[in-house]
């Protein structure tokens, strides 16, 4: 991951805004510690903090089209950049082997429609010096973070993270996923609106096709000129990604990949991750953290994540600690399993979906919110240490197939195990106890006592009287629990813009559900804890129950 800054349509001295851009870029340098670049003129300033993964030698940014003068800064990876070169009709003055340079020339030939051609993850700003216009865009689901804000003079500011805007912009918004923004027109355009978002899918699943599509997604995301590794939680999703990547590594006759897991001592995830790593033959590293280390990191986690959402902070803290260790091994990119639960209805409350229509609609809602939750967590907790995370389940082309499957085939009523169709597609690729392991949220799997201690700490710090007056203390985005109250206090001490808190979602949530899902079961009523263990009738904590679930599913 890199960091980008754009200040457009300057309403003041250019030198003042250049100094501001340098200051803003410094706040997100953790995203790109390898090099800094800046472009400025009388109308715009664009800065870039680079994490060099593809073409480390010559891929520095901002990139400039020598023929048109257009300037580009990108955070992301364009996996199909070599294929896209073949679609260009003009002769272009290529300056690097970077995957990002293709955007300059696609825009030159195809205009805004170029974003639909990109297979990858991206957030970018492109400035046309001749016209003074600019164009900014974000990938299909918001896997790469991006924010937009306006200062008191109305000057537009764009940044990879909200913190760079906080001191300068009283108005800040998340740049919506799957959209682009045309500067002079002041126009938002939704470029990503696939059919499965609008209508009920009816396609019968082909398990071989499902497997092939995921393998293809992983294969293209191995694009890297630097060492990369794997995140393994011991759950189904990360284990599948690790299995596919490890197989590709062996086919290429390369050394075993480094893999990483984290948890409290004797946590469920550590035990299962160890089994996965042994089965795949990875060079595995177990990272053990203590509750006190996690507690001590909370303020830094909230600063980097820019949220006070409870589920996100619970899961981000161990991931943040793990990313620091990963960086120490010289690994700059890792593959992870985010997104599978949203696609296949993997959260435990999906067992209670009343019908296929509601099941699918909830999956669509979950995917549309990923930029505020799991994508935000995965990206920012690793980028805090200059590590990039890639998420093959959210590959645009894989989504196109997986979300076209009839949701009836994904449903998991009663004792049927969640994500059965995905498990069946990869029969024989993992040990049975991993392939059929029940869902554990990452914040649960690293050790149940982690969440228990966070809740206990919140009870000690926040009185009932404080909660009763929470709406007076926090009239906007009011915390609903004592734990959220604690995180909101830290957040407000770090970010001063009146708009900062408005970028964070607030609402009732059980087991990572949206509020709509709360009506699926009476078991949810009166609960406000987002842990997967809240779904007592589904969660199998004991080994015997888990084995029974496996037998039913098999």
Show which residues are catalytic.
2
Task: Please list, in sequence order, all residues whose beta carbon lies within 8 angstroms of the beta carbon of residue 184, skipping any fewer than 6 positions away.
Answer: 131, 132, 133
User: What's the order of all strands across the beta sheet hosting 63-64?
Assistant: 63-64, 71-78, 120-127, 134-138, 179-182, 187-190
Instruction: List 44's β-bridge partners, or say none.
Output: 8
Can you tell me whether residue 437 is helix, strand or coil?
A: coil
Count Cα neighbours of 368 within 13 Å in the Cβ-side half-sphere: 15
By the 8 A CB rule, do 393 and 340 touch? yes
Q: Is 35 exposed, middle or buried (0-12, 13-18, 19+ CB in 10 A)?
A: middle
* Distance from C-alpha of 220 to C-alpha of 214, rounded to nearest angstrom: 10
Which candidate, 50, 109, 95, places its Cα nearest to that of 77?
50
Query: Do the bridges between strand 283-288 and strand 258-263 make them parallel or antiparallel, or are there none, so unpaired?
Result: parallel
The 3 state secondary structure assigned to 469-513 is CHHHHCCCCCCCCHHHHHHHHHHHHHCCCCCHHHHCCCCCCCCCC
Task: Please list, in sequence order, all residues whose beta carbon lies within 8 angstroms of the beta carbon of residue 300, skipping any fewer than 6 positions away.
Answer: 320, 384
Name the strand (E) or helix (H) holding 263. strand 258-263
* Distance from C-alpha of 91 to C-alpha of 74, rounded to nearest angstrom: 22
Measured CA distances, 51 to 143, 147, 335 (Å)? 16, 19, 16
By the 8 A CB rule, do 437 and 234 touch? yes
Can you tell me whether residue 124 is helix, strand or coil?
A: strand
CB atoms within 10 A of CB 206: 13
By the 8 A CB rule, do 342 and 415 touch? no
């Amino acid at each position: 991951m890199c960091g980008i800054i754009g200040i457009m349509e300057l309403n003041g001295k250019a030198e003042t805004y250049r100094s501001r851009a340098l200051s803003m870029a410094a706040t997100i340098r953790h995203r790109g510690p390898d090099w800094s670049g800046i472009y400025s003129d009388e109308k715009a300033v664009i800065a870039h903090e680079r994490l060099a993964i593809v073409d480390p030698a010559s891929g520095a940014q901002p990139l400039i089209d020598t023929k048109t003068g257009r300037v580009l800064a990108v955070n992301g990876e364009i996996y199909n950049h070599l294929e896209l070169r073949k679609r260009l009709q003009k002769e272009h003055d290529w300056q690097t082997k970077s995957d990002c340079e293709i955007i300059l020339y696609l825009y030159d030939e195809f205009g805004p429609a170029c974003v639909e051609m990109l297979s990858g993850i991206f957030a970018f700003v492109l400035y046309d010096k001749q016209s003074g216009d600019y164009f900014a865009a974000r990938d299909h689901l918001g896997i790469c973070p991006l924010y937009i804000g306006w200062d008191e003079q109305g000057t537009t500011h764009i940044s990879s993270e909200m913190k760079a805007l906080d001191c300068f912009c009283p108005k800040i918004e998340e740049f919506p996923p799957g959209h682009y923004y045309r500067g002079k027109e002041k126009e938002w355009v939704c470029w990503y609106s696939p059919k499965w978002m609008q209508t009920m899918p009816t396609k019968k699943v082909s398990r071989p096709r499902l497997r092939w599509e995921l393998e293809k997604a992983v294969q293209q995301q191995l694009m890297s000129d630097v060492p990369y590794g794997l995140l393994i939680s011991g759950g189904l999703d990360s284990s599948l990604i690790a299995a596919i990547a490890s197989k590709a590594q062996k086919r290429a006759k390369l050394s075993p990949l480094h893999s990483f897991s984290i948890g409290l001592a004797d946590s469920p995830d550590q035990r299962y991750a160890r089994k996965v790593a042994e089965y795949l033959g990875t060079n595995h590293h177990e990272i053990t953290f203590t509750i006190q280390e996690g507690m001590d990191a909370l303020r830094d986690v909230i600063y980097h994540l820019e949220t006070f959402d409870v589920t996100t902070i619970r899961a981000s803290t161990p991931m943040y600690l793990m990313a620091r260790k990963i960086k120490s091994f010289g690994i700059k990119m890792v593959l992870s399993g985010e997104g599978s639960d949203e696609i296949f209805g993997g959260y435990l409350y999906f067992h209670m979906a009343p019908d296929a229509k509601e099941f699918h609609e909830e999956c669509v809602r979950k995917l549309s919110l990923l930029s505020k939750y799991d994508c935000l967590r995965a990206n920012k907790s690793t980028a805090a240490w200059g590590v990039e995370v890639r998420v093959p389940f959210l590959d645009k082309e894989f989504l196109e197939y997986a979300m076209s499957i009839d949701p009836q085939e994904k449903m998991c009523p009663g004792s049927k195990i969640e994500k059965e169709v995905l498990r069946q597609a990869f029969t024989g690729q993992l040990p049975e106890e991993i392939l059929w392991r029940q869902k554990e949220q990452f914040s649960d799997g690293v050790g149940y006592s982690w969440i228990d201690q966070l809740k206990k700490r919140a009870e000690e710090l926040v009185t009932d009287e404080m909660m009763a007056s929470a709406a007076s203390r926090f009239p906007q985005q009011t915390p609903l629990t004592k734990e959220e109250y604690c995180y909101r206090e830290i957040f407000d001490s770090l970010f001063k813009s009146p708009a900062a808190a408005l970028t964070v979602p607030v609402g009732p949530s059980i087991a990572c559900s949206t509020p709509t899902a709360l009506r699926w079961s009476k078991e949810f009523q009166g609960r406000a804890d987002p842990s997967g263990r809240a779904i007592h009738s589904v969660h199998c904590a004991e080994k015997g129950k888990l084995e029974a679930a496996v037998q039913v599913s098999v």
